[in-house]
Copies of this chain bind each other. A is one copy, B any other.
Amino acid sequence: MATNRITQLFGIQYPIIQGGMVWCSGWKLAAAVSNNGGLGLLGAGSMHLDVLREHIRKCRAATNKPFGVNIPLRYPEIEPAMQLIVEEGVQIVFTSAGNPATWTSFLKNNGITVAHVVSNTKFAVKCEEAGVDALVAEGFEAGGHNGREETTSMTLIPQIRRATGLPLLAAGGIALGQQILAAIVLGADGVQIGTRFALTQESSASEAFKRACIASQEGDTMLTLKKLVPTRLIKNNFFQQVAAAEERGASIDELTALLGKGRAKKGIFEGDVENGELEIGQAASLIDDIPTVAEVMQEFLPFISKII
């Protein structure tokens, strides 16, 4: 079986990582991706500590293949979460939304392979200095939280490739086999795919969210809430309220109040597609079915066979 730097680093068959997405990436999704030759990630960002522990254990019971945890460094209980990850014997951690210098040494000292998500070269270089094992370069197309510089995958991948020799995963806008191939041509060693896996049978998102996403057309997502954390959302009723507030120059405090608490849960997990935050990538417009993970991987295989 052919391999490359990504498959070797994570001990997987194909250089396909499933993004650890809030309210989508529980043990069912992660185990399915790992069982199908990719790397599944649990999305700790939407899990309390006890839920995270439960999902790690269930994922381990459901697959004998490698899997990992994605944890945003803004996680409110980050110290006990990192302890828990070590205690539970997690072997692979993807960190995001923060400085890679903070937790990389701790994780590496505990024998964990570490990848970090960046949206610019500056943080890519910081990752290399911090001893991170692999990078995820996430473009403007990606769903959910996003970088401030709005650099797209087409520009970002070659830019990061120039800046560092680290194994590089491209993310943002990648849902089809030919997009995987394009990312490799641009300089990536593999891909991290969010949107396509969020819209599968095994994703823990609500059926209503999945249906709203596959019904969306080109131009139906937009990067918004830029005064808070730039976030790509479907343009539903909640989005329109934010857009109206921003148009009249609403302050950070007003926007924070408008956002409130639990909007992503409401939209993605509870299925309130009008008043929730529907975090999904631009590539949703290219998707119009809700297949199993195995079916998605089958679609990718002819393209993967060209790259490893």
Contact = CB atoms under 8 A, between A and B. Distances in A.
A139 B173 CA distance: 12
Interface stretch (A8-16, A65-73, A95-103, A278-286): A278-286
A218 B185 contact: no
Contacts of A150: 140, 219, 222-223
A103 B149 CA distance: 37
A218 B121 contact: yes
A202 interface: no
A110 B139 CA distance: 43
Interface residues of A, number: 42
A141 interface: yes
Contacts of A223: 150
Interface in A91-148: 120-122, 139-141, 148
Which of A148, A176, A222, A250 lies at the interface centre, i.e. has the most chain B CB atoms within 10 A of its CB?
A176
A172 B156 CA distance: 13
Interface in A178-205: 178-179, 181-183, 185-187
B187 A178 contact: yes
Contacts of A261: none
Given A248-B249, A249-B249, A172 B154 contact: yes
Given A152-B140, A249-B247, A249-B249, A181 B172 contact: no
B173 A155 contact: yes
A153 interface: yes
Contact of A159 (B183, B218, B248): B218
Contact of A149 (B155, B219, B248, B283): B219
